[in-house]
Amino acid sequence: MKSDKAKIIAVAGKGGTGKTVIASLILKFLAEYGAERALAIDADPASCLPSTLGVKVNKTIGDIREEIASPSQVFFSEDMPTDMLIEYKIDEITVNTPQFSVLAMGRSEGIGCYCLINDMLRHFIDTLSGRFTTIVIDCEAGLEHLSRRTTRDVDTMLVVSDPTKRGIDTALAIKNLAEKLHIHFQHIYLVLNKVTEDEVVKTALLDMVKDSGLTLIGTVPEDENIRAYDLIGTPIIELPDDSKAVVAVKAIFEKIIGKNHESSPY
């Protein structure tokens, strides 16, 4: 029996680790594996995920936040409760494609707290996740969303690290913070990205991971195709099937499916 609650896969990590590439490839495989409906949430204010998916987003949750904050905007309706109106607005800005839907968090125009935007995103995930079989969240770089508990009730969290000691230390800090804040997740794994073919380096990295206590679900090699696609702005999901990163992330994706096979939506 399928659950009426979407499976949530969160992809976290410090900036520059390639977590958006990992998230976009997971969306690619969800579509290929026949997920009935998948939702991609770009929770990073930099909003890079839509372009890697080949999707144009015209409005973000941040834009709705500005409408709420601006007294010149006619936003509220006497005939509709505030929560319902916000839900309607967020649903309205969600971009739908045949493969998946895309929602971007964006940012507020001015300097200030993101708490309202976070609350709106949390409300959307909590109340509308029944429409989707799987939600993939590309988290903000670092710990911001975890510290504000935007990402919660996560089935699988992938913490992406570059192949460095500092990256692995940051990944461990993310895992520890998630546990400290009592964010519920079934599985949390480390993904080492942009790994070179140097066997000495690989061995050193595996030793660092072992010492950290993190669970490594897979490594993703450096892929010149990604560099080329980024250079000209080609969507990452259009990478060829034999691209090194695609092959590696597909193996990680299949491990995730295997872990959740009893309640898989596929």
For residue 23, give both structure tokens.
């998230």
pLDDT tens digits, one per residue of 67-94: 766 655 555 555 666 667 777 777 888 9
Rounded to whole angstroms, the Cα distance separating 113 from 3 reads: 35
Contact (Cβ atoms closer than 8 angstroms) between residue 208 and residue 190: no
Q: What is the mean pLDDT of residues 46-59?
A: 91
Helix, strand, coil proportions of the chain in percent (round to 5)? 45, 20, 35
> What are the angstrom distances between the C-alpha of 185 and each of 12, 15, 102, 179, 263?
13, 22, 23, 9, 15
User: Going by C-beta distance under 8 Å and a sequence separation of 6 or more, which residues neighbour residue 57?
Assistant: 42, 47, 50, 93, 95, 102, 104
> What are the angstrom distances between the C-alpha of 98 and each of 23, 31, 209, 250?
18, 9, 39, 21
The SS3 call for residue 181 is coil
pLDDT at residue 243 greater than cutoff 90? yes
Contact (Cβ atoms closer than 8 angstroms) between residue 239 and residue 245: yes
pLDDT band at 235 (very low <50, low <70, confident <90, very high): very high
Contact (Cβ atoms closer than 8 angstroms) between residue 237 and residue 24: yes
Rounded to whole angstroms, the Cα distance separating 187 from 154 reads: 8
Identify which has the larger pLDDT, 248 or 120.
Answer: 248
For residue 61, give both structure tokens.
């949750």
What angle is formed at CA 102 by the lines to CA 161 and CA 136, rounded to 5 degrees?
40
- State the average pLDDT for the chain: 82
Q: What predicted TM-score, i.e. pTM, was given to this entire model? A: 0.85
What angle is formed at CA 7 by the lines to CA 257 and CA 9, rounded to 5 degrees?
75
pLDDT band at 246 (very low <50, low <70, confident <90, very high): very high
For residue 49, give both structure tokens.
């995920």
User: Going by C-beta distance under 8 Å and a sequence separation of 6 or more, which residues neighbour residue 10?
Assistant: 136, 137, 139, 151, 154, 156, 157, 158, 185
For residue 58, give both structure tokens.
């015209």
Per-residue confidence (pLDDT) for residue 247, from 0 to 100:
97
Q: What is the mean pLDDT of residues 17-37?
A: 91
pLDDT at residue 245 greater than cutoff 50? yes
Domains of the chain: 7-260 (3.40.50.300)
Measured in degrees and rounded to the nearest 5, phi and psi for residue 10 equal -105, 135
> What are the angstrom distances between the C-alpha of 193 and each of 79, 220, 237?
50, 5, 17
pLDDT tens digits, one per residue of 89-144: 778 889 999 999 999 987 655 555 556 666 666 667 766 677 888 999 998 865 55
Q: Partners of 96 in the beta sheet?
A: 101
pLDDT at residue 17 greater than cutoff 70? yes
